[in-house]
Structure 1
Amino acid sequence: MQRILRLSLCLFALALASLPVHADEARDGVADVRHVELGDLRMHVEIHGEGEPVLLLHGGFGSMEVWRPLIAVLSPHFRVIAPDLRAHGRTNDGDRPFDPELLAEDQRALLDALDVPRAHVVGWSMSGGLALELALRHPARVERLVMIAALAHHAGLQEAFREHLLAATADTWPAGTVRAWRALAPDPDRWELVFGKLRDFVASGPRRGADDYPRVRAPTLVILGDQDTVVKPEHTREQAAAIPHARLLACEDAGHGVPLEKPDQVNTAILRFLTGTDGD
């Protein structure tokens, strides 16, 4: 199990590190690239396309760059809003420790700043839990919800990954992920501090569970990789079973990086779900 975990983490880190890193400029002649002032944050955000808004929330240690393939699929149909989260990508880190309320309020404030009263929300991994948090705290702001390999409660972590995470340091985390983080960060020297905050948050911060899932109002699509070695697939299946009218897409032979491992399957399912062409 430890060998499989190390291999999956290395593959996931390499996949993230191989994503293109761009300068702050429009990528396709249409993208709106901004830095939005939100209290202690200067949040980097890209906006592509027109139509109903879709907010894309990347996972821990990543950036909005991970969404390039999905942006290409969604932007002909939607106004796609892709921020870098607090202390990720090109967005600075504040002085506060991470907690679910803080991260959810960051995104609520972003929607307010962009004058978006209601949006579809897509979250992966740590931000699958963040998307859920936003839907629970501000149900009127979430139209449809997509949770991918979502960590809603820290007990949903695979035990081997939890042990790996708690034993890790800023110096021992996969080098590709560290390089990708430093390449975009406004202050690359904060890596050690940010790593500690992220490690602590992932290991103990998310805490939504069975009593919370039935309160989700938004139609929900839950996506998992059946070989996930970071988040327990049964944790994700529990979400799909308990959220009212939720649908489950279980991708075979895929791990925690399921959007990168099965992009055609995942991106097509998200497009069909958000456009209401999936048989609903």
Structure 2
Amino acid sequence: MNLLCRNIPFFVLFLVALGTSAFAQPKQKAPGSYAKVNGLELYYETHGKGRPLVLLHGGLGSTSMFGDNLKALAKHYKVIAVDLQGHGRTADIDRPLSVELMADDVAALIQHLKLGKADVFGYSLGGGVALLVGIRHPELVNKLVIVSTVFRRDAFYPEILAQQGQVNEGAVEMMKQTPMYQGYAAVAPRPQDFPRLLKKIGEAMKQDFDFSKQIASLQAPTLVMAADADLFPASHAVEFFGLLGGGKRDGGWDGSGRPKSRLAILPGLTHYNIFADPLMVTVALPFLQEGT
């Protein structure tokens, strides 16, 4: 398997890890709604009641990828699960895929729905979008949960960067045999846009980024979460936590020295299963509910 992995883009390995259930679904009427924001028809679903929590999926995924974890969150929150630009039921438009622009879309949705402040919970690409919502629109964010997300590009393992370089429209024929493509084709407004999505994702992955300086001024309490066998070393998550003020001193016998943000490294998980594992929600809920 290790030899094979060297020649297969990471998103295909992602499919193998998931199996078919997270993506391949029969054609059905959309259970959610659309909001006109920033030139997009942005698709979202609302589940549960209570304090609003915006849930953001990973690259080439959609709201459905969270499965039972979405249901678990909806027992405690009004979950607004969003399909980001070009993903799921949200059609692409003529602009690049960038976390900055998608963060502005999420902010516009929060305003459109008159949510006031919301918790924002994102995985992978969605974690980057969540981070940028917190940076660019602090007045709209209560707390952040950022799962399996790097804050600078060079934190990825070298082999992951190499695999990301293989993502382009040339992979379409191979992808047509996968549950990821089948799930996309089942719900996308324009299934013929899949090559365009692969091209844009590939282009986005090649862009350098480093949000270190912006993180240092982040206002929202933030839970940084990663798998202990993620796409990047656990030390990067620790560094992320440090930029948020964590790991600077003893928390004290009564906890009074703890920072407002939190760090969690989940054991026995990888980038390819952390979002579907119930431990993700089990760890996130105490942080989200603290002080409420």
Q: State the TM bucket, normalised to the shorter chain.
A: 0.7 to 0.9
Q: CA deviation at 1:55?
A: 0.3
Paired residue for 1:196, among 194, 199, 217?
199
Amino acid at match of 2:29: D
The CA distance in 2 between the partners of 1:161 and 1:37, in whole Å, is 35
Cα distance in 1 for partners of 2:238, 2:182 equals: 33
Q: If the length of structure 2 is used for normalisation, what is the TM-score? A: 0.84
Once the two structures are TM-superposed, the CA of residue 258 in structure 1 deviates from its matched residue by: 4.1
Partner of 1:177: helix, strand, or coil? Answer: helix
**Which amino acid is 2:199 matched to?**
G
Aligned to 2:14: 12
Between Structure 1 and Structure 2, whose CA radius of gyration is higher? Answer: 2
Is the 8 Å Cα contact of residues 165 and 205 (structure 2) preserved in structure 1? Answer: no
The residue that corresponds to 1:235 in the other structure is 236
2:141 aligned with 1:136, yes or no? Answer: no
Amino acid at match of 2:285: L
Report the more deviating stretch, 71-80 or 141-150.
71-80
Q: Does 1:252 align with 2:257?
A: no
> Which residue is equivalent to 1:89?
88
Question: Per the alignment, do residues 182 and 152 of structure 1 end up closer, same or farther by CA in structure 2, a change over 3 Å counting?
Answer: farther
Q: Scaled by the length of structure 1, what TM-score is found?
A: 0.87
Tell me how far apart the structure 1 counterparts of residues 9 and 198 of structure 2 sit (CA, whole Å). Answer: 21
Deviates more, 1:138-147 or 1:17-26: 17-26
What is residue 249 of structure 2 aligned with on the other side? none
Match of 1:269 in 2: 283
Measured at CA, do residues 237 and 274 of structure 1 come closer, stay the same or move farther in structure 2, by a change above 3 Å? same
CA contact (8 A) 2:69 2:278 kept: no
1:240 offset after TM fit, Å? 1.5
Quick one: structure 1 residues 25 and 196, their matched pair in 2 at CA, closer, same or farther if it must change by over 3 Å? closer
Contact (CA 8 Å) 1:2, 1:160: kept in 2 or not? no
CA distances 1:184-239 after superposition (whole Å, capped 9, x unpaired):
21111111111111111123154312x222211111111111111x3443322211
Q: Name 2:29's counterpart in structure 1.
A: 24
Whether the 8 Å CA contact 1:128–1:152 is kept in 2: the answer is: no
Alignment of 1:28-107 (within 5 A): 33-107=32-106
Unpaired runs of at least 5, structure 1:
27-32
Query: Any idea what the Cα deviations from partners look like across 1:216-272, whole Å, max 9, x if unmatched?
Result: 1111111111111x34433222112221332111112211124346x2211111122
| Native 8 Å contact 2:38 2:105 kept in 1 | no
CA RMSD after TM alignment:
2.4
In the alignment, residue 44 of structure 1 is paired with which amino acid?
Answer: Y
1:90 and 1:148 map into 2 onto residues whose CA distance is 23
Secondary structure of 1:50's counterpart equals: coil
- The CA distance in 2 between the partners of 1:80 and 1:114, in whole Å, is 12
Partner of 2:156: 157
Read off the aligned partner of 2:272 and give its amino acid letter.
G
Deviations 1:65-109 (A, max 9, x none): 012322211212211100100100000101001223211111011
Secondary structure, in 3 states, of the residue corresponding to 2:180?
helix
Task: Mark the runs of 5 or more structure 2 residues left unpaired by the alignment.
Answer: 246-258
Contact kept in structure 2, 1:60 and 1:127, CA below 8 Å: yes
Q: How many residues align?
A: 269
